[in-house]
Amino acid sequence: MALVIRNGRVCDPSQNLDAVMDVLVVDGRIAALGPNLDIPPQAELVDATGLVVAPGFIDVHVHLREPGFTAKETIATGTRAAVAGGFTAVCCMANTSPVNDSPLVTRYILDRAQEAAACRVYPIGAVTKGLQGEALADIGGMAAAGVVALSDDGHGIANANLLRRALEYASDFGLPVIDHCENRDLAAGGVINEGAVSTRLGVRGMTRAAEEVDVARDVVLSSLTGAHIHIAHLSTAGSLELVRRARAEGLPITCEVTPHHLTLDESAVLTLGPLAKMNPPLRTAGDVEALLEGVADGTVTCLATDHAPHTTLEKDQVLLHAPFGVVGLECAVSLMLDRLHWRQGIPLPRLIELFSTGPARAFNLPGGTLQIGCPADMTILDIHRETVVDVRQWQSKARNCPFDGWRLKGAPVMVVVGGERRSVLPPPVLAETVAADHGTS
């Protein structure tokens, strides 16, 4: 059955499109765009008057935890959380158990996603065997099995020569390498950002240089190899400037920034404790301002949650022993609409680009556009809707979120995945089916 999204503000950065019109979906693909489209018999209608219709949002940095850590999250719960948060696709990191460092694990993830996922799932393979940073994983085998990128996320790759070889090999398969930029010697067991707050709390800090040294190295290696490096969860003004210069020189460098690094600084640790502990850590207010500038000027390629679920028992420890990481799939879109669009004045098309077109282009994914013939993945937004973050209502197994209780303006209300409509919130979105005579059934 065909689907018509009627009378919405269609905002598609891939086509420089921002106008009120209809979207016709047939057989899971975009069939037509335009005002007052002819409605096929038996079409399902969605009245999107007053709503924004965007290409499906993609989160390129998610930890689904399956296989191995299913007490924290599963492919089923994580993708339900993604849909509830307005995402139509997620890229899942390799730090599972066993590690996704072989075609066998890649195929397992894809098979489980076929059985249980509520949205599209794109596996990311490990760069090195077991994430140990000593020998390359089976990159060719994983590429054939279906990974879309490579990363040892959570582990900086200390051996520059090994990273060089990984970049050269990954390029042969058209895969970007995602780097968690953390120099282990400089990080030296840090818990939060090195600065006034770490001194006040008497805990070891993590210097910004630990990130920036590796970003600088990656820029050099990208220049040497011509390979695409994607900098994960960039957090400092210095790192951003390195990426800005590299991109100005035409190097194939992309980067992501998380909602928590755009909205919180290191002082949040004083009130939130372990709920504000993540890696890289929250930095200074000056870093937050610099990252916001990077979002505005086009340096930042993607917004990504780094959704890192933990059990309550794990996270409810003293700061020193609690694990790194927060969850954000179910509040990231509302948070960014509120803080970036409404408060910082970031234009809506730019925000949509960061959630859809930018991720799709960076990872060569079949999405991020509403062009005719492309898969019908859409995120529908009510940018005026007031919402309150309530982790007790979430689809995710995890509750380790620093934004619980925040009142936000703007929310996703529906996603469409491959032409299938999936509501996120109750009305105002209403659906109906049109009979053969175009009357309402």
Q: CB within 8 A of 42, min separation 6: which ones?
A: 1, 2, 433, 434, 435, 436
What pLDDT score was predicted for residue 58? 98
3-state SS, residue 260: helix
Q: Which pLDDT belongs to residue 425? A: 62
What does the pLDDT average to over 207-213? 98
Q: What is the pLDDT of residues 98-110, one digit of tens each?
A: 999 999 999 999 9
Average pLDDT over residues 139-147: 98
Estimate the crossing angle of helix 348-355 against helix 285-297, to 10 degrees: 100
pLDDT exceeds 90 at position 434: no
Residue 431: exposure state from Cβ atoms within 10 A (0-12, 13-18, ≥19): middle
Query: Cis peptide leading into 280, omega within 30 of 0?
Result: yes
Residue 303 or 440, more confident: 303
What is the pLDDT of the chain when averaged over all its residues? 95
From the list 415, 434, 419, 432, the residue with the least C-alpha distance to 27 is 419
- Please state the φ and ψ torsions of residue 139, each to the nearest 5 degrees: -65, -45
Q: What is the pLDDT of residues 309-365, one digit of tens each?
A: 999 999 999 999 999 999 999 999 999 999 999 999 999 999 999 999 999 999 999
Contacts of 257 (CB under 8 A, 6+ apart): 233, 234, 235, 291, 294, 295, 300, 302, 303, 304
Catalytic residue check, 111: no
Query: CA 31 → CA 25, 41, 67, 105, 356, distances in Å?
Result: 5, 15, 37, 36, 19
Computed from CA positions of residues 277, 64, 298, 334, in that sequence, does the dihedral angle turn out positive or negative?
Answer: negative
This prediction's pTM: 0.95
pLDDT of 438 reads 33
- What is the reported pLDDT for 297? 97
Residue 42 clears pLDDT 70, i.e. is over it? yes
How many helices, marked H, and strands, marked E, lie in the chain?
15, 19
pLDDT at 440 over 90: no
Residue type at 2?
A
346 near 340, Cβ under 8 Å?
yes
Question: Residue 427: is its pLDDT beyond 70?
Answer: no
Q: Which of 306, 338, 377, 382 is catalytic?
A: 306
Secondary structure E strands in 114-170? 120-125, 149-151
The answer to whether 91 touches 60, Cβ cutoff 8 Å, is yes
pLDDT tens-place string over residues 151-188:
999 998 999 999 999 999 999 999 999 999 999 999 98
pLDDT digits (tens, 9 = 90+) for 20-31: 999 999 999 999
Read off the pLDDT of each residue in 289-308 and give the average, rounded to a whole number.
98
- What is the pLDDT, as a whole number, of residue 435? 42
Structure-token pair, residue 300: 């930042």
The arithmetic mean of pLDDT across residues 286-294, rounded, is: 98
